[in-house]
Structure 1
Amino acid sequence: MQIQINTDKNIENSERLTAFFSSEINTELERFDNLITRVEVHFGDENSDKFGKNDKKCLIEVRVAKKEPIAVTDHSDSIEKAFHNALKKVKRVLDNTHEKMRENH
């Protein structure tokens, strides 16, 4: 599973940030490893320097072999919260997708 972490100009990307979120994805999506070809994570701060409630955005796009990509988004007051909420959504969708694929075989 290939993992790519992207940030907008308002969020500093670092090796530590990339390593942390990549590790979380590997742990949480490990059981879908045979389905997933790539995971892209996009972080953004929609208010830039200004303070705003739930202005941190995390979009997670999962490429599943022979299927349409799955994309979920979450907004929160920190990129960590937005990430974990989006990751929960991805897991629910993957559970459903995996179940449907098993039913069709």
Structure 2
Amino acid sequence: MQVRIETDNHVEGHEKLIEHVEGVIRDAVDHHKERVTHVEAHLGDVNGSVKSGAADMRCLLEARVAGLKSMAVTHQAESLHLAIEGAADKLTKALDSALGKELDRQRRHPGTGELSADAARAEDEGEAPPTAP
């Protein structure tokens, strides 16, 4: 999995910050790491360096997942570390939800046992057996 980190001109992208963000992202997607191919982190100061506020720092995470559309989450907080942690939590939940729904759809797809039971029922009723979708 590739991790790319971008900062705006109000956030210094020093090595410790990059290592922290990469670690948080890897922990957040660990359960789905075989499906996540790429994550981009965009870190920024919402109000610029002129003002500060309660939710001044922003972290946007965009994940590319094999077989699904890209997904993005964002979180704003009073510090960059809180924004990163909040966005990572949201990304974990979004991945769990999207991949869980996909697994549900796969489980609902009729298996060979269902088709066999339908074929036997149709044969008993004198109808043509169903074909696989």
TM-score range, shorter chain: over 0.9
Query: Which one has a larger percent helix, Structure 1 or Structure 2?
Result: 2
**Residues matched between the structures, number:** 105
Find the counterpart in structure 1 of residue 35 from structure 2.
Answer: 35
- Counterpart of 1:39 in structure 2: which amino acid? V
- Could you tell me how far 1:60 is from its partner in structure 2? 0.5
Find the counterpart in structure 2 of residue 102 from structure 1.
Answer: 103
Distance 2:52 2:37 in 1: 36
Find runs of 4+ consecutive structure 1 residues off by over 6 angstroms.
none
**Unaligned ranges ≥5, structure 1:** none
Find the counterpart in structure 2 of residue 48 from structure 1.
Answer: 48
Distance 1:11 1:94 in 2: 27
TM-score by length of structure 1 reads 0.93
- Could you tell me how far 1:66 is from its partner in structure 2? 2.1
> Which secondary structure does the structure 2 equivalent of 1:84 belong to?
helix
Indicate the structure (1 or 2) with the bigger Cα radius of gyration. Answer: 2
Distance 2:78 2:93 in 1: 22
Distance 1:41 1:55 in 2: 17
TM-score by length of structure 2 reads 0.75
- Could you tell me how far 1:47 is from its partner in structure 2? 1.5
- Could you tell me how far 1:29 is from its partner in structure 2? 1.3
Distance 2:82 2:5 in 1: 16
Query: Which one has a larger percent strand, Structure 1 or Structure 2?
Result: 1
Q: Deviations over 1:55-75 (max 9, x none)?
A: 111101010112111101111
> Which secondary structure does the structure 1 equivalent of 2:12 belong to?
coil
**Unaligned ranges ≥5, structure 2:** 107-133
State the identity as a percent. 33
> Which secondary structure does the structure 1 equivalent of 2:3 belong to?
strand
- Could you tell me how far 1:28 is from its partner in structure 2? 2.4
Structure scoring higher RCO (CA < 8 A, sep ≥ 6) equals 1
- Could you tell me how far 1:104 is from its partner in structure 2? 2.3
Distance 1:24 1:84 in 2: 7
> Which secondary structure does the structure 1 equivalent of 2:60 belong to?
strand
